[in-house]
C-alpha cells in the first residue's frame, strides 16, 4: 500500500509524502549536461504543527537528528569552516570544504556577519556588520507586532566566494502573543535527502527561539522553489511512500541558555522518535566544492565578542 493521499493536502509528513508523489507523477524531467537527471516542480508549500513541542522529524524513513541539530548550531555560530561539524562527528559538509576546511561566507556568516555598505554605515552607527539573528530575536521580544522579523542568507556579491549558493535563503518569524511561527523560503530543494533535514532543523530553530523568548512554537511553514527528486533517488522515494506515518517525536530542553549562542547539542532531548529504517541516497555535488573563500569578520560569535550596538 502506498501511503499518500492524492489531494492538495500540504500538512505534516502526509503533505511531504504527497509532494514526493506529485513530483514523481507530474514533475518535469530535466538533465543538465554533466549533472544527474531529475524530476522537478516549482513553488511547493508545506505546513507543520509544532504545538506541544512536536518536531517534524520524518518517520517514513530514519532521519538523523544529531546531524541536523549540530548543523543548525553551526549555522548559529556564524563560522565559515567545518571544524565545529567535525568536532561533532558530522561530515555532511566535507564534500564542499577546501583543504583548510573552509566553505566560505555561507548561511551562518550571513546571519551573524552581514556586511554593511560603507556608504550606509553612518546610518547604522558606524557598524561594519549586522547580526541579523540577534536583531531578529530582539525585535521579536520588543516589537512582536512588527512585520520585519527577517533573516536572509542570499548575498549576490558573495556568491562566488561560497562553495555552494545558499539553498534555504529567507526566514520570516511571526509572533502573536506567546506563540511563535517561522516560514522558510528555500530556492533549491533536494526533496529526498535535503528537505527532511531542513524541515526538522528549522523547526528546531523555531523551538529554540521560542524557548529564548519564553514562548511556545506554533507552526513551521516551508516553501520550496525548485523542488526536485534526483533520478538516482527514484527507487528510494518509491520505497518511502510505502511506509506508514508514525506520530512525530517531541523536543525538550535540559536548560535555558543565556542566549541563542549558548545552546549545545547536549541541551536537546528528543522524545519518542520511531521511524522506518534508513535508506541512503547519493549526494549530488552541486556548486563549486572545495572553492570557498574565507572572509574576515569583525567579531566572533563564540565568546560573545560583539561590536557595540
* CATH at residue 148: 3.30.572.10
Q: How confident is the model at residue 1 (pLDDT cuts 50, 70, 90)?
A: very low
Is position 212 within any domain? Answer: yes
pLDDT at 306: 46
- Give Dmax (Cα) for the chain: 63
* Residue of 227, 185, 212, 175 whose CA lies nearest to 21: 227
* Residue of 160, 114, 199 whose CA lies nearest to 293: 160
E-assigned strand segments in 231-302: 250-253, 268-271
Q: Give 24's contacts (C-beta < 8 A, 6+ positions apart).
A: 39, 229, 234, 237, 238
Is position 99 within any domain? Answer: no
User: 259: buried, middle or exposed (CB in 10 Å: 19+, 13-18, 0-12)?
Assistant: exposed
Catalytic residues: 167
Which of the 8 DSSP states describes residue 123? G
pLDDT at 304: 43
pLDDT tens column, 19-60: 999 999 999 999 999 889 999 999 999 999 999 999 999 999
Is position 46 within any domain? Answer: yes
Is position 236 within any domain? Answer: yes
CB hemisphere CA count around 134 (13 angstroms):
20
pLDDT at 46: 98
Question: Is the pLDDT reported for residue 73 higher than 50?
Answer: yes
Is position 79 within any domain? Answer: no
Question: What rounded mean pLDDT belongs to the chain?
Answer: 93
268-295 burial by CB neighbour count: b if 16+ within 10 A, else e?
A: beeeebebbeebebeebebbbbebbebe
Question: Is the pLDDT reported for residue 309 higher than 50?
Answer: no
Question: Is the pLDDT reported for residue 7 higher than 90?
Answer: no
pLDDT at 299: 55
Q: Is the pTM of this model over 0.85?
A: yes
**How many domains, in total, are found in the chain?**
1
pLDDT tens column, 234-265: 999 999 999 999 999 999 999 999 999 999 99
Provide the percentage of residues in the chain whose pLDDT is more than 90.
Answer: 86
Q: How confident is the model at residue 296 (pLDDT cuts 50, 70, 90)?
A: confident
- Pairing type for strands 150-152 and 168-176 reads antiparallel
Residue-range definition of the domain harbouring residue 141: 12-64+129-271
CA angle 75, 80, 85 (to 5 degrees): 60
Question: Is the pLDDT reported for residue 297 higher than 50?
Answer: yes
Full strand arrangement of the beta sheet holding 168-176: 28-30, 38-49, 216-230, 179-190, 168-176, 150-152
Please report the sign of the dihedral spanned by the C-alpha atoms of residue 164, residue 167, residue 172, residue 173.
negative
Is position 2 within any domain? Answer: no
Question: Is the pLDDT reported for residue 281 higher than 90?
Answer: no
Question: Is the pLDDT reported for residue 2 higher than 70?
Answer: no
The strand pairing partners of 182, in sequence order, are: 173, 220
Q: Are 196 and 61 in contact (CB under 8 A)?
A: yes
Amino acid at each position: 500500500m502506498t501511503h499518500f493521499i492524492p489531494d492538495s493536502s500540504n500538512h505534516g509528513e502526509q503533505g511531504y509524502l504527497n509532494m514526493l508523489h506529485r513530483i514523481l507523477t507530474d514533475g518535469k524531467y530535466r538533465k543538465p549536461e554533466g549533472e544527474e537527471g531529475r524530476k522537478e516542480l516549482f513553488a511547493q508549500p508545506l505546513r507543520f504543527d509544532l504545538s506541544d513541542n512536536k518536531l517534524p522529524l520524518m518517520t517514513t524513513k530514519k532521519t538523523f537528528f544529531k546531524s541536523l541539530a549540530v548543523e543548525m548550531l553551526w549555522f548559529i555560530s556564524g563560522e565559515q569552516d567545518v571544524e565545529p561539524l567535525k568536532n561533532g562527528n558530522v561530515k555532511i559538509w566535507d564534500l564542499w570544504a577546501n583543504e583548510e576546511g573552509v566553505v566560505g561566507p555561507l548561511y551562518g556568516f550571513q546571519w551573524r556577519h552581514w556586511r554593511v555598505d560603507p556608504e550606509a554605515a553612518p546610518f547604522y552607527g558606524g557598524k561594519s556588520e549586522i547580526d541579523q539573528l540577534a536583531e531578529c530575536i530582539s525585535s521579536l521580544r520588543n516589537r512582536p507586532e512588527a512585520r520585519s522579523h527577517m533573516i536572509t542568507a542570499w548575498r549576490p556579491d558573495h556568491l562566488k566566494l561560497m562553495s555552494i549558493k545558499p539553498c534555504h535563503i529567507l526566514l520570516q518569524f511571526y509572533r502573536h502573543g506567546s506563540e511563535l511561527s517561522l516560514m522558510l523560503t528555500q530556492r533549491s530543494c533536494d526533496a529526498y535527502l535535503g528537505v527532511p533535514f531542513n524541515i526538522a532543523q528549522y523547526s528546531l530553530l523555531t523551538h529554540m527561539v521560542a524557548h529564548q523568548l519564553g514562548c511556545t512554537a506554533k507552526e513551521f511553514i516551508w516553501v520550496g522553489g525548485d523542488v526536485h527528486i534526483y533520478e538516482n533517488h527514484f527507487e528510494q522515494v518509491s520505497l518511502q511512500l510505502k511506509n506508514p506515518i508514525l506520530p512525530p517525536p517531541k523536543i525538550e530542553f535540559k536548560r535555558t541558555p543565556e542566549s541563542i549562542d549558548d545552546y549545545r547539542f547536549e541541551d536537546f532531548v528528543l522524545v519518542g522518535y520511531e521511524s522506518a529504517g534508513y535508506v541512503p541516497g547519493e549526494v549530488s555535488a552541486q556548486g563549486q566544492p572545495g572553492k570557498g573563500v574565507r572572509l574576515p569578520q569583525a567579531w566572533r560569535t563564540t565568546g560573545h565578542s560583539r561590536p557595540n550596538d
